[in-house]
Amino acid sequence: MLFGQSVFQSVLDRLKAQDETVEENVPASARVSGLNSGLAFNVMEGVSASSARPDQAYFETIEFAREKTEPLTRPEPEPEPVMPDYLAHIKEDEIAAELDISALDTVQCLSLKRRAFAKKNHPDRVDPRFRANATTRMTTANLLIDQALRRLARKLS
């Protein structure tokens, strides 16, 4: 500290003194420091192009970015979905034949059959128009598999 001033205050005083000496030695000029004389403006008839039409630059550059395309056409409608043949089989004996449950099936085997059947027939995986049949098939298949699991549990105990 110099004469009761903080270090920061003494640095500020020294910088201020340097600026005063530099300003005294520099002649007055109309130039702005940092700008050189190579600056050019596009002036036509006393009006710059950017002030005449400010949006013109946008439209000129967008033409480079835009590809020439044909007008948009409406997409063709999707064809009506066709119900798979297996969804038409909703009788219990048809579903039992499809599951092929036997007395030799284990718990793991029945679980795999349930998963495979659900993967193919789950109502969330079919078109909404066919969900009623898929729900019926899944309900019946789950009932048949649950019955087989109960029979297996009684057999093992």
157 residues of the chain, pLDDT tens digit each: 456 778 888 888 888 888 777 656 556 555 666 666 555 555 455 545 555 566 666 666 666 555 556 677 888 888 999 999 999 999 999 999 999 999 999 999 999 999 999 999 999 999 999 999 999 999 999 999 999 999 999 988 8
Question: Residue 44's beta-bridge partner residues?
Answer: 47
**Amino acid identity at 155:** K
**Looking at residue 22, what is its pLDDT?**
61
Alpha carbons 114 and 101: distance in angstroms, whole number: 11
**Looking at residue 20, what is its pLDDT?**
76
pTM flag (> 0.75): no
Residue 33 CB: number of other CB atoms within 10 A? 6
**Looking at residue 53, what is its pLDDT?**
66
Kindly tell me the sign of the dihedral angle through the C-alpha atoms of 38, 39, 44, 46. negative
Helices (H), ranges, the chain: 7-25, 49-52, 56-65, 92-99, 107-121, 131-156
**Looking at residue 7, what is its pLDDT?**
86
Which residues make Cβ contacts (< 8 Å) with residue 126, sequence separation at least 6?
84, 87, 134
